[in-house]
């Protein structure tokens, strides 16, 4: 670690070091304030990059069998994070989980994709919601929000 830091410091005075969190990447979609089933993302290649997200068909994504407490914690954290930034309608909150099962917030996506490879429609399907129902839930919420203003 010391040698890597010293090498990086030769190129920039600001060096950022992060702990590796290697227990997996997870996402929780939010629709109308409710968290949908938690999805685990397992790319076939090393990283969940552009190709893995949008082009490849071998990225494994599925609802995971987490302990009820872990699933509830991720869903609750996702709802809190989305609400904290003023998120409305739908969104997606991504997490990394360490080997001990502790989730770490990675990012909040307020405009998630809606393609056949996208995670929000996948989570909606896991919750028993069709794509049409998902779109109606989103638009109903938007209409309600615009009417309240």
Percentage of the chain beyond pLDDT 70 is 87
Average pLDDT, the chain: 84
Closest Cα to residue 109, out of 92, 123, 122?
92
11 belongs to a structural domain: no
6 belongs to a structural domain: no
Which range of residues forms the domain containing residue 139? 21-148
The CA distance from 126 to 122, in Å, is 6
Q: What is the CATH number of the domain that holds 96?
A: 3.30.470.20
10 belongs to a structural domain: no
79 belongs to a structural domain: yes
Does the pLDDT of residue 28 top 80, yes or no?
A: yes
Does the pLDDT of residue 94 top 90, yes or no?
A: yes
Query: What is the sign, positive or negative, of the torsion defined by CA atoms of 120, 126, 131, 137?
Result: negative
29 belongs to a structural domain: yes
Query: What total of structural domains would you count in the chain?
Result: 1
Sheet with 103-109, strands from edge to edge, namely 60-63, 34-42, 25-31, 90-97, 103-109
72 belongs to a structural domain: yes
- Show the tokens assigned to 22: 């290697």
- Of the two residues 58 and 146, the one the predictor is more confident about is 58
Does the pLDDT of residue 9 top 80, yes or no?
A: yes
33 belongs to a structural domain: yes
């Amino acid at each position: 670690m010391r040698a890597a830091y010293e090498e990086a410091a030769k190129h920039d005075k600001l060096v950022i070091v992060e702990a590796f969190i290697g227990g997996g990447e997870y996402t929780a979609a939010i629709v109308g304030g409710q968290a949908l089933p938690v999805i685990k993302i397992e790319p076939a290649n090393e990283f969940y990059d552009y190709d893995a997200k949008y082009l490849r068909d071998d990225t494994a994504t599925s609802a995971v069998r987490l302990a009820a407490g872990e699933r509830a914690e991720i869903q609750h954290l996702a709802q809190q994070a989305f609400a904290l930034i003023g998120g409305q309608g739908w969104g997606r909150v991504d997490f990394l989980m360490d080997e001990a099962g502790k989730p770490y917030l990675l990012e909040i996506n307020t405009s998630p994709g809606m393609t056949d490879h996208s995670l929000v429609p996948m989570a909606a399907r896991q919750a028993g919601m069709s794509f049409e129902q998902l779109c109606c839930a989103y638009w109903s919420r938007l209409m309600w929000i615009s009417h309240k203003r």
